[in-house]
Structure formats: C-alpha cells, structure tokens
Amino acid sequence: MSLAAIPSPTTAVWDLGPIPIRAYALFIVLGIVAACAVTEVRMRRRGAPPYLVLDIAVWAVPLGIVGARVYHVITSPDAYFGKDGDPVDALRIWHGGLGIWGAIAGGVLGAWIACRQRGVPLTFVADAAAPGLPLAQALGRWGNWFNNELYGRPTSLPWGLRVHVMDDQNPGHSLVMDGKPVLQEGLFQPTFLYESLWDVGVAILVWQLDKRHRFGRGRAFALYAMAYTAGRFWVEALRVDTAHHFLGLRLNEWTSLVVFVLALIYFVRVRGPQARLYVDDDGQLLTVRDDEAPGEAEVPDGKALDGKALDGKALDGKATATDVDDGATGDGTAEESASSDTAAGDAASADTASGDAASGAATATTDGDPAGAVEDGDEAWRAERPGGALDGEPDADLAVSADGGHGPSDGGTPHSTAEK
C-alpha cells in the first residue's frame, strides 16, 4: 500500500434536521456565486449598472441546471430507461449527474433571454463571464471528489486517489463493513483534481489575455471554450466511468473536439473591440464601442456620452453651433457666450480697422440689403474671425458640418460607432 495518496471523503451528505445538505450541491452553489461575482465586477468596469448579473443569473442558472441534467440523462439513458433503470431517477438531481455541455447550452439560452429583456448584447455578458465560468467548474469538481466519482484509471503515482465503495442503500455515504469504510483496491488517477487545476489555469489565461488584448464580440468566451475543451479532452481520456464510445473515443472527447473547432473558427473569424454600456437619463442601457477616443462615442436619439454633445444637444453647460442657431442654451449661457464671441470679434475689428468697417458698410450692398450684416439670432460662428471669413461667411477650415461637428467643408462627417 502506498503511503503517499490522496484520500477521499466517506460522507457526501449531512442532515440538518429534515434537510439534507449535500456537498455536491454546495460546491455547485459556490461555483455559481464565484462566477456571478467575477462577471459582476467585469461588467461594472465596462459600464454596466450595479447587479446586472442578477438579472442574467435568474435565467441562466435555472436553465443551466436543467440543461446539465438533460444532457446527462440523454448521454446515460441506460441508468434511467434501461432494464434496471428507473425513469423517476432522472428527476433526482441530488443523486448527481450533471453534464457540463448541457449546463453551458442551457446557461447561454437563459443569458440570451435575459439579455433581450435588458437590451444588452449577449456577447457583452459572455466576454465578462469568460474567466468566471472556469472558476465555477473548478469548484464544482470537488463535489465529484466528495461523491467518490469520475476518477481515472488505476495508477501507481504518489498522488494517486483512494476511492471508497459507496453504499447504494445509503446514498452519500461509503459502504461500511466491520465498522470500517470499504475502499476500492489500488489507487486511481485524480481526474477531478486535474480538471479543477486546469480550470483555474484557464481562468487566469483568459483573464490575462483579455486584459492585454481587450477581446470583444464574444472572443474572450471563445478563448475560454478552446482552453477548457483542450484540457477536458485529455482528462476525459483518463476516466474509466461508463460512457458511450464512437470510433475509439468517448462521447465527451468528441464533444470537446467539436466545441474546440467551432470556438477556434469563431475566434479567428470574428473581430471587434470590447463593448461598453452607457446608462442614459431615462435608465435605458445603450451599447458603445470601447475603441472610441473619449468624447467620440455616439449613441442613438441624440444622447450625450463622455462629455460630447450629440445632435445639437447641450451637455455640461456647453452648447454646440446648432444650439445657438436654434436658440438652445446650455445652463442658460449659450446665447450670451455667442454674443460675447461676436462682440469680441467686433471689438478686435474696430481696434484695427475702424475706417475700413465704415467703408465696407457703405459699399457692400446688393438690392439695398447690407451683405455683411449679422442679424439677431444668427450663428455664433458667423462672427468675423482674424484671418478668416470674408463677407460674413466662415473660413473653409472652420466650417461646421451639418451634424454639428467641426471639420472640413468638403462634406466630411464624423464616423458613427453606435452599436444597437
């Protein structure tokens, strides 16, 4: 007998009065909490309102659990619908049996429903959750350790796992003979530990690469899927629990290969910056691109973002050219500012060319109307500028585009990067 070995618990359930507390369920709950905490922090840093993750989790968690159970039952039908199976056992989820692939599929479906309700892109949530999901899986694998299940093939390695024979008549407890728990002969590969450690590594990998490259449009989630399935493939090859085989590989190995390829294709083909959320004055969530320079982001319906006024709207006491044109003011000072600018320009002109101004007023007429007159309410940028406008028109380099932005007068307009 090897003295260097990993022991296994003899009990996986504790009774709290009439309520059984199962280790398997506890670690699943801990995993959910960890994933939600990581996702919440990452979403808040990208502009999401507080506790948005709860709106997502209320759909993703239940559907994820249902999906995990459905996948397990479908891929292990003999245990429930075979000769000695009991279909009712398919509902006894506390006995164990959850498939990660079904959990991901059900969780994504639930997240999609929640995202549609809140008006948030699914890829935004998926990228934020990418490091948290493998942490949840890492914690969940310790529930398998308590259940003495999903271990690997026999081994002589010093970190081999001792596995108890569990009592079918007393679920959650090991079989006891002569007052001692019964152990299976030999040591086994601790595949639960391999996958748990691998998942922690995946979380760190996704976190660091996403921090450096700022993946967007679901690419961080695709990276997680690739990294996880790469590890799951070789861990699955070590397991000896009952499974369906095709062409010499276990079903979960084939699933890992398919998911890896699909995630790789998505990661390579899809490009795009990270998304950020913006909460407007009405409490609505709007999505903008994270690669925009401060003050350049635009959102629909004339909303303002990052200190820039859009569609002629005023923000933080500042008015755009169209504000003055329409008589709009920012904090009640836009018209005064425009008047001050005009007055300053007139004063400068008067100091340097008072005689020329008088001559221009006498001669620059067409059909009896003064061509250079500035009418009340005219645009602020029509004020005469040093070295600039002639006959009351703005210099070409100072022309104001139709949408309120400053730029060349050749019709160029600022690019719109609003995401809907």
Q: What is the pLDDT of residues 197-221, one digit of tens each?
A: 999 999 999 999 999 999 999 999 9
Say if residue 297's pLDDT is above 70: no
SS3 418: strand
% of the chain with per-residue pLDDT over 70: 68
Sign of torsion, CA 149 155 157 162?
Answer: positive
In order of 174, 175, 176, 181, the CA distances from 168 in angstroms are 9, 8, 11, 14
d(CA 28, CA 20): 15
Q: Output the pLDDT for position 330.
A: 41
d(CA 46, CA 24): 33
In order of 53, 91, 357, 361, 372, the CA distances from 365 in angstroms are 68, 92, 13, 8, 8
Q: What tens digit of pLDDT does each residue of 332-353 get?
A: 444 444 444 444 445 444 444 4
d(CA 220, CA 266): 11
Higher pLDDT, 24 or 199: 199
Averaged pLDDT, 121-134: 96
212 is in an annotated binding site: no
In order of 77, 112, 319, 321, the CA distances from 326 in angstroms are 72, 43, 11, 9
Say if residue 304's pLDDT is above 80: no
Could you report how far apart the first and last alpha carbons of the chain are, in Å? 64
Say if residue 394's pLDDT is above 80: no
**pLDDT range class, residue 290, cuts 50, 70, 90:** confident
d(CA 47, CA 43): 7
Say if residue 373's pLDDT is above 50: no
- Rg, C-alpha atoms of the chain: 34
Of 312, 303, 302, the residue nearest 277 (C-alpha): 303
